[in-house]
Amino acid sequence: MTKSELLNSQTHFNFEASLEFARSMDEQDELKEFRQEFILPSKLRGKNGESCVYLAGNSLGLEPKRTREYINEELEDWADLGVEGHFHARHPWLPYHEFVTEMSARVVGALPSEVVVMNTLTANLHLMMVSFYRPEGKRVKIAIEKGAFPSDQYAVASQLNFHGFSVEKHLLEFTPRPGEDTLRIEDMLKLIEENKDELALIVLGNVNYLTGQAFDVETLVQAAHKAGIVFGLNLAHGAGNLLLKLHDWQVDFAVWCSYKYLNAGPGGLAGCFVHERHGQSFDLPRFAGWWGHNKANRFKMPDRFEPLPGAEGWQLSNPPIFQLAALRASLEIFDRAGMARIRAKGDKLTGFMEFLLQEIAAQAAPGYLSIITPAGAANRGSQLSLRFQGGKGILDKFKDEGVVCDFREPDVIRATPAPLYCSFEDVFRFAEVVRRFAAEGK
């Protein structure tokens, strides 16, 4: 039995297409209490006045109830203490980013020294490529997945151009086979093997934003390192979603945002991982800033940069406290729930949604609905990417029913039952709307 088959066999569930079944699953759900920790949008209700079914956590997570309290504490300390808040606030601002380090590390499967919260995702990706994209000789190419999020494509292309290389000649893409939406691991490994002497770097979204496909990172890292290729991840759709083991997988670096599954609010601070084997490689080129300097003499303002060991050494500036407070409010919830339990519930929720939608598709007109996200818990997180015959127009019809999803060009609606605040009844309500639309030919 392959690793994928084993994982899928461990997450097989027997579902029933009924409201009673959904409610019984919610009663048994050991994470059900966490739904009360979040605010469901009050102005996105359906026609019948019920609370919305929020399935857009892969785009923007919901607000934890404690977020306002935590930000207000910092506003109050600013008002009461002024500059002294750096040292005497309830959570002193000078070391504030350290309050979220260990929790962040647990979310992504890392050592605390390997993680830092800073900047935004694409800024962090560029900082990582400054250090880890080191073209030399004929080893100059970068590989990404075809259909990667545009910001990744722009960042990688600009790095190639910055070094004097062309996208046409030096960017490789992991590409689905004709007529397929998702990638096959054997094709990805083949591309690595065939270009092992010319590839300098692989940058992969561990969950593809459009299809929802999750990749076998461990196998890909092993193949890359065997060929001497640096391996980096964009965890925008993985952090807070998948059960990650960045340290054990030997990933060289990773970056992620915090406003999707991690619920830190629009434009929330991003995270960065640098494996410990690189943490004291002080000869690695990097763009430096004063917050990455040795804490012992940072405020003596020396004129020579002395990087901190670990991921902290890639920091540029002191971080925004209000955004850190928002992230802390959410990460405390993740820490209480635990990523293993979150992923276990996510597999059940997503499997239940898949079960219901497949049943509807089988009864609907041919071509009305298809699921492009791979089947099986080993191949995805809490997202199903759907194609409807009605295309983007059906999204507005969902909104009228109080169902919140999102749309990505050219024709994909993404539905994400985030485990911390979505219920089995939510999934059933969504499916019943889809069932009615299918019957009405909408």
pLDDT higher than threshold 70 for residue 12: no
Decide if pLDDT at 163 tops 80: yes
pLDDT tens per residue across span 229-267: 999 999 999 999 999 999 999 999 999 999 999 999 999
CA distance 267 to 174: 29
Query: What pLDDT, on the 0 to 100 scale, is given for residue 13?
Result: 81
Report pLDDT digits (tens) over 275-284: 999 999 999 9
Confidence label for 45 from pLDDT (cuts 50, 70 and 90):
confident
Write down the pTM of the prediction. Answer: 0.94
Question: Which has more pLDDT, 6 or 306?
Answer: 306
Which range (25-34, 215-224, 393-402) has the least confidence?
A: 393-402
Distance CA 253, CA 380 (A): 21
pLDDT at residue 142 above 60? Answer: yes
| Mode of pairing for the β-strands spanning 230-234 and 253-256 | parallel
Asked if pLDDT for residue 11 goes beyond 70, the answer is: no
Q: What pLDDT was estimated at residue 441?
A: 77
Give the β-pairing of 369-371 and 384-388: antiparallel
User: What's 45-90 look like in SS3?
Assistant: CCCCCCCCEECECCCCCCEECHHHHHHHHHHHHHHHHHHHHHHHCC
pLDDT at 7: 40
Could you tell me the domains of the chain? Answer: 3-60+339-440 (3.90.1150.10), 71-336 (3.40.640.10)
- Amino acid, single-letter form, for residue 133: Y
Band of residue 5 on the pLDDT scale cut at 50, 70, 90: very low
Q: Would you give the DSSP letter of residue 176?
A: P
CA distance 186 to 375: 17
Round to whole Å and give the CA distance between 358 and 158: 41
pLDDT of 9 above 50: no
Provide the mean pLDDT of the chain.
95
Whether the pLDDT of residue 123 is over 70: the answer is: yes
Q: Above pLDDT 70, what percent of the chain?
A: 97
Identify residue 252 by its one-letter amino acid code.
D
Max mean pLDDT range (39-43, 44-48, 325-329): 325-329
Residue 4 has pLDDT above 60, yes or no: no
How many CB atoms are located within 10 Å of the residue 406 CB?
17
